[in-house]
Chains A and B, each alone.
Chain A
C-alpha cells in the first residue's frame, strides 16, 4: 500500500532549502548591473508637492535616474499610486532614485529638495466627524456609493455622548439589521452596554516587502515578496497595463505577509518602472522603518455595543456601532466584524451600524482575520460580563449561543457548509482542563492574581472553482504545478497531498513546482481569507481525478480490458488483484505522449480558465496531463473554520504586567491534512492575537501627525519569553461534507481566539472588569487598578 498522506506529518519539500540558506527570498536575487533604489518619503501626514528640485542629486556620480509620481500609472483616490504628489500619510513614497549602490541613492535622495504645501490632516476618525473636523483627503473623509463625501456629525451628538462617556453615534454609512433590537432589549433579562476601542496593529512580517526587477526582450522579470503567485502576477499586469505573459514572475519564498502582501504590494511597481526607465535591473530593499509606514496595518475601531440576554445566558439582541479608522486609503473591516459578531452569538435580533473614515495614518489592509479578530477580542469579555451577572458558566454561555451547521447570519443571512463550534469548545475545554483551571480564577500569589479566559473565533476558510494542473512524467513521478504562493503555510505541498493519495503515490514520488510563472501555473486563489487549503485541495483533487481516468484509459488501451478494471498504487497501474502485471507510471507517461490529444495536454477541457490554458500548453507533451476545474459545487454556502482559545494569565497588580502562562487552541477546520503544520497555524495565529491584545500599537504626535511607536521594539510583537512555552492544540477533525477532501482553512480564526482569550483572562484577573480597549499595556492596566483618573477619554485611540 502507498503511504498515507492525509493526516500525517511530512516536512514540506522546501524545508532543507530554508535551513541551509539556499531558499531565495526576493532580496536574495541578483542580476548583472543591478542598481539600487531608495525612496523619498513624505515628512508630513498630508501635503501637496509643489516642486521637486532634483538637479543636485541627478548630477551626482553613480546616480542613474529618478522616478516621480508623474512617471507612474495614475489613479484616483482611494486607489493608491506607488508614488504620489499628494501624500496622505507621513511616510508615503513621493519619489524614487536609482544609483549604482544604495548609499549613493540615499545620499541623492537627501540632496533632493521637495517643496511641500502642508494640508489639513486628521488622525482620529471621530475628530474628522466632528463639526469643522479635517478631512483626510481634499475630496472628503468617507465614501458613500462610490462617491467622496465630507461627513460631519452634529455638536449635539458629540456633546451628549461625551457627557455620558459613550461613543458618539451620528449618521452611519452602513447599516443592516434583522428582527427588532429595541423590542428585544425591552424584553431582555439583562442588558450589558460598553464603549470599546481596538487599536490599529502593524503587520510587520519578518521579511520587508523588497522586490527586484529587470526587463529582457520586452518582458518584465520580477522577483517579489508576495503571499500569492499567479494572482500577484495578474494584479501587477493590470497595474502596469501589461499582458500576463509579458511578466515572468518569481516568488519562491515569502517571509510572511499576514494579509499585507496578498497580491504583492503597491511598492512592487517601483523597481519595475524604474528599471524600465534606466535600462538596468533595480533592487529595492525595503527597511523595517519603511515597512512600518507602507507595510500596512489592521484598522482600529472605536465602537459601542449593547447586548441583551435571557436569564439562561442566551443572547437575544445585539446592537453594534463601529467607527473604523480607514487610514490613508480606506478599509472595510467593519463588514466582517458585524457578520462575525452575528455568527458567533446568533442573536435573533441584531443591528450593525458602521462608518469607515479616512484618516492620515498609514494605509490599512486585511490582517489575518480582518474585522473578525478585532470584534471577537472586544466582545468576548463583554459576553463574560453578562455571564458573570447571570451566574452562567463562561463555557456554557458560549456553547449556548454558538451556531450549528444550520446557521444563517450576516446582512444577507448566508448559510455555511459545516459548523462544529460546540465540538471545538468541548474538545478545547477537555484538552485545557477547563473544569480545574477555571478554579484558578482570582487566585493570589504575592502581587500576582490569576485570570482565566476563553475566546471563540470563527473566520472564512474556503472558496471554490479554481483549477488544478499536474503531469505524470516519464520519470514516473507526479509533478504538481502550483500557482499559489509559498508564505509559510506549507500549502504548496499540503494541498497536493490528497491528489497524490488519490493516485496511490507515496510522497517521494511527488514533485512540486511553484514560485515561477514561467513553469506554467494554473488559475489559483489568492493566498488570503484562509481559502487555500479548501480551494486547492479541491482543485488538485479534480485534476488528480482527471489524471486517474486518463491513466486507467492508457492502461486499458495498452493492456486490454476496460479502464474500470485498473487500480493505481505505488506508481503503477494494474488489473485489480494482479499487482505484478500492469504498467509503471513512467511507461504510462511515455504512452500518453505517444497518444497525444487529451492524454498529454494537447487537448484541454473547455471550462478551465484562460490562465490555465496557457499554463497547460507549456507542459503539453511532457507526459500524462491531469488538468481540471474544481466543479465540486457548493456555491452559495460560505466556508468558515473555528478556533477556541483558552488562556491562563498572571497579572502583577504592582507593575501591571500580564504574563500568559498557559494556552490551548482547539479548532474545527474539517479534515486535518498536516497535523504539525495545523498546530503551528493555530498557535502561531493565537500568538499574533496575543500581541494584538497586549503590546502592539500606534502612537502619534497629535500636533504633527508623526508616529512614535514605529519599530519592532516600540510596538513589539510577542517574543519567545512573552508566550506560554507548552501551549497545546487540538482539532475536532470532522470532515466538511461539501468537499471531496473535507478540509477547511485555518490561517485566520486563531488570531481572534488568542486575542480574546487574553482580553477575557485579563478581565477575569481584574475581577470581571472589562477595560474594553486594547492594547492592554501595563500603564493602562495600572491606571484601572489604582482607580486613577484616566488621562485619555473612553474613545481615545492611538494610545498605549
Chain B
C-alpha cells in the first residue's frame, strides 16, 4: 500500500499503487489502456445514477463547486469520468498519454493531466474544469477567459481548455511573472496550431487582470 501519494503524486485514500498495477497486469494488453477507454458503469450507458456498482465504486466528487455522485471503475481516468459520466466535455483528449495537455484540469488549484489521474485519486479534492471558470453567480468570465477573449487567443482551440486551466493555475499561484516564466508554466500544453505567441500575450494580460481584481 502506498498511503501517502499515488502515481500522480496525489494523496490517495482508496486506490493503492499496487492495486492499480495489479489491475493492469491481470487484464493484459487491453486493460493496459482500458483506463483510457470508456466503460459504462453498472446499468449501461450514462446510467451513472442507476447504480449497480459496488459501494467502493460510488464516489462523491467535488467538481466545479458541486458535489456529484458517480459510479467510477477502479482504473477509470478523471478525463473519462468528466467527459462520459458527468457530461463535462469541455475537457479534451488529445493523446490520452500525458503528451499534450489538452485534458488539463485543476485538482485543488494545481494543474494536472486529467487523462493521467485516476478518478478515485481525487476523492475529497476539489476539481475544476473549463466549465467551472466562470463566476457561478454572475456568469462573468474569469480573468483568464477575459484575457483570452480580448486577445483573440487560439486558432482551432482544441488545446484551449487545457491551456486555460494551466493559465488559471499560473495566475492564481504566482502574483507576478515574466513572459519566460509564463512559457515555462504553460510548456506542458501543446498547441499544434502554434498559436504560442498569442497565447503568451493572453497569459500576460491574464496576470494583469488577475492582479487588478
- In the complex, per-residue mask of B193-212: 1 if CB is within 8 Å of any chain A CB, else 0: 11111111000000000000
Q: Across the interface, which residues of A come within 8 angstroms of B159, CB to CB?
A: 206, 255
Residues of A179-213 at the interface with B, using a CB-CB cut-off of 8 Å, are 204-208
Whether, in the assembled complex, B160 has its beta carbon less than 8 Å from a beta carbon of chain A, the answer is: yes
Taken together as a complex, chains A and B put the C-alpha atoms of A206 and B102 apart, in Å, by: 8
Contact among A110, A679, A684, A727 for B193, CB-based, below 8 A: A684
The reply to whether B152 and A9 form a contact with Cβ atoms under 8 Å apart is yes
Q: Is the CB of A683 within 8 A of B89?
A: no
Given contacts A488-B157, A725-B200, is CB(A15)–CB(B152) below 8 Å?
yes
Q: Which residues 93-123 of B have a CB within 8 angstroms of A?
A: 93-97, 99-100, 102
Asked if A489 contacts B149 (CB within 8 A), the reply is no
Contact flag A720-B45 (CB < 8 Å), given A206-B159, A488-B156: no
B91 interface contact, C-beta 8 A: yes
* B34 → chain A closest CB, angstroms: 5
B158:A712 contact, CB within 8 angstroms: no
A137 to B135, CA, bound (A): 59
The docked-state distance in angstroms from the alpha carbon of A683 to that of B96 is: 28
CA separation between A107 and B151, bound complex, in Å? 46
A337 within 8 A of B: no
Q: Which of B33, B36, B91, B153 is within 8 Å of A21, CB to CB?
A: B91
Partner of B187, one of A27, A680, A721: A721
B57, CB-defined interface residue at 8 Å: no
A723 with B194: CB separation less than 8 A = yes
Q: Which of B1-9, B12-20, B126-134, B169-177 participates in binding chain A? A: B126-134
The verdict on B54 contacting chain A, using a C-beta distance below 8 Å, is no
Asked if A657 is an interface residue, CB under 8 A from chain B, the answer is no
* A25-B158 contact, Cβ under 8 Å, with A101-B45, A687-B194: yes
B146 CB to nearest chain A CB (Å): 9
Chain A residue numbers with a CB within 8 Å of B30 are 103, 106-107, 110
A502 to chain B, nearest CB (A): 23
The reply to whether the CB of A285 lies closer than 8 angstroms to some CB of chain B is: yes
Known interface pairs A110-B30, A487-B156; A19-B164 also in contact (CB < 8 Å)? yes
| Complex Cα gap A490–B156 (Å) | 8
Could you tell me the distance between the alpha carbons of A36 and B156 in the complex, rounded to whole angstroms? 26
Interfacial residues of chain A within 1-55, with CB under 8 A of chain B in the complex: 9, 11-12, 15-16, 18-25, 27-28, 30, 33-34, 36, 38
Contact A106 B183 (CB under 8 A): no
CB distance from B162 to the nearest CB of A (A): 9
Residue of A nearest to B34 (CB): A103
Q: Which residue of B lies closest to A100 (CB)?
A: B40
A-chain residues with CB within 8 Å of residue B36 when the two chains form the complex: 287
Known contacts: A711-B97, A725-B183. The answer to whether A21 contacts B157 by CB under 8 A is no
Q: Once the chains bind, are A21 and B198 in contact (CB under 8 Å)?
A: no
Please report the C-alpha to C-alpha distance between residue A206 and residue B130 in the assembled complex, in whole angstroms. 17
Interface residues on B, range: 35 or more
Q: Which of B46, B83, B190, B198 neighbours the largest number of chain A CB atoms within 10 Å of its CB?
A: B190
Kindly list chain A residues whose C-beta atoms are within 8 Å of the C-beta of B97.
288, 711
Given contacts A21-B161, A102-B37, A725-B197, contact A11 B152 (CB under 8 A): yes
The residue on B at minimum CB distance from A283 is B38
Report yes or no: A683 in contact with B197, Cβ–Cβ below 8 A: yes
Q: Provided the pairs A19-B160, A285-B38 are in contact, do residues A256 and B133 lie with their beta carbons within 8 angstroms?
A: no
CB of B39 within 8 A of CB of A288, answer: no
Q: A106-B30, A106-B37, A488-B156 are in contact. Are A288 and B96 (CB under 8 A)?
A: yes
Q: Are A713 and B45 in contact (CB under 8 A)?
A: no
**B145 contacts partner chain A, Cβ-Cβ < 8 Å:** yes
- Name the contact of B155 in the complex, choosing from A102, A110, A684 (C-beta under 8 A): A684
B148 close to chain A: CB less than 8 A = yes
Q: How far is the CA of A28 from the CA of B92 in the complex (A)?
A: 9
Task: Check B196–A687 contact: CB distance below 8 A.
Answer: yes
Q: Are B134 and A253 in contact (CB under 8 A)?
A: no
Q: A11-B149, A711-B95, A720-B189 are in contact. Are A205 and B156 (CB under 8 A)?
A: yes
How many angstroms between the C-alpha atoms of A725 and B186 in the bound complex?
Answer: 12
Q: Are B89 and A21 touching (Cβ within 8 A)?
A: yes
- Whether a CB of chain A sits under 8 angstroms from the CB of B69 is no
Whole-angstrom distance from the CB of B202 to the nearest CB of chain A? 10
Bound-state CA distance A25–B190 (Å) is: 18
Contact residue among A102, A711, A721 (Cβ-Cβ distance under 8 Å from B183): A721
| Residues of chain A with a CB closer than 8 A to B180's CB | 725
The answer to whether B44 has its CB under 8 Å from any CB of chain A is: yes
A232 within 8 A of B: no
With known contacts A25-B92, A207-B92, A208-B94, A100–B44 Cβ distance under 8 A: yes
Residue B138 lies at the interface, judged by CB distance under 8 Å to chain A: no
Asked whether any CB of chain A lies closer than 8 Å to the CB of B29, the reply is: yes
Which residue of A has the minimal Cβ distance to B183?
A720
**Closest B residue to A17 using CB positions:** B157
A264 contacts partner chain B, Cβ-Cβ < 8 Å: no
Least CB distance, B75 to chain A, in whole angstroms = 9
**In the complex, B88 has a CB within 8 A of chain A:** yes
> B70 interface residue, CB < 8 Å from A?
no
> Would A19 and B145 be within 8 Å (CB), given that A205-B192, A288-B94, A720-B196 are in contact?
yes
Residues of B within 8 A of A676 (CB): 151-152, 198
Knowing A20-B130, A255-B92 touch, does A206 contact B192 (C-beta < 8 A)? yes
Most buried by B among A12, A102, A720: A720
Complex interface residues of chain A between 244 and 264 (CB less than 8 A to chain B) = 253-256, 258
Residue of B nearest to A22 (CB): B90
CA distance A25 to B95 in the complex (A): 15
Question: In the bound complex, how far is the Cα of B93 from the Cα of A27, in angstroms?
Answer: 9
A676–B198 alpha-carbon span in the complex (Å): 9
B152 and A206 form a contact (CB under 8 A): no
Question: Given the complex, which residues of B lie within 8 Å of A38, measured CB to CB?
Answer: 37
In the complex, are the beta carbons of B95 and A288 less than 8 A apart?
A: yes
User: Which residues of A583-641 are within 8 A (CB) of B?
Assistant: none
Chain B: CB-nearest residue to A255 = B158
**A515 interface hit (Cβ, 8 Å):** no
Does the CB pair A16–B149 fall under 8 Å?
Answer: yes
Q: Find out whether the CB atom of B90 lies under 8 angstroms from the CB atom of A101.
A: no
Answer whether residue A474 sits at the interface, using C-beta atoms and an 8 A cutoff: no
**Contact (Cβ within 8 A) A712 B95:** yes
Interface centre among B129, B157, B194 (most CB of A within 10 A): B194
CB distance from B98 to the nearest CB of A (A): 9
Tell me the minimal C-beta distance from A528 to chain B in angstroms: 15
Q: Does chain A have a CB within 8 A of B72?
A: no
Q: A19, B156: Cβ atoms under 8 Å?
A: no
Contact check, A680 vs B94: say whether CB atoms are below 8 A apart: no
Q: Which residues of A contact B87 (CB under 8 A)?
A: 30
Bound: A46/B203 CA distance, A: 48
Report the Cα distance A254→B129, complex, angstroms. Answer: 21
CB distance from A146 to the nearest CB of B (A): 36
Bound complex: CA A12 to CA B29 (Å): 44
Chain B residues, Cβ within 8 Å of A386: none
CB distance from A15 to the nearest CB of B (A): 6
Whether the pair B158, A20 counts as a contact (CB closer than 8 A) is no
Once A34-B45, A107-B30 are accepted as A-B contacts, the answer to whether A718 and B95 lie under 8 Å apart by CB is: no
- In the complex, the answer to whether A253 meets B157 with C-beta atoms within 8 Å is yes
CB-CB nearest in chain A for B179: A725
Which chain A residues lie closer than 8 Å to B194 at the CB level? 683-688, 718, 723
Interface contact A488-B149, CB-CB below 8 Å: no
Q: CA A106 – CA B29 in complex, angstroms?
A: 10
What are 16 A-B pairs at a CB distance below 8 A? A22-B131, A27-B83, A30-B46, A104-B39, A206-B191, A206-B193, A208-B94, A255-B156, A256-B193, A676-B152, A679-B197, A680-B198, A683-B194, A688-B192, A688-B194, A719-B187
Top 3 A-B residue pairs of the complex, sorted by shortest distance between their CB atoms = A21-B90, A255-B158, A488-B156
Binding site for A on B (CB under 8 A): 28-30, 33-34, 36-40, 44-46, 83, 87-97, 99-100, 102, 129-131, 133-134, 141, 145, 148-161, 164, 179-180, 183-184, 186-187, 189-200
Q: With A15-B148, A103-B38 given, can you name 15 additional A-B contacts, CB distance below 8 Å?
A: A19-B157, A20-B130, A21-B89, A21-B161, A25-B92, A25-B158, A102-B39, A107-B30, A253-B156, A683-B194, A683-B195, A685-B194, A711-B95, A720-B183, A723-B196
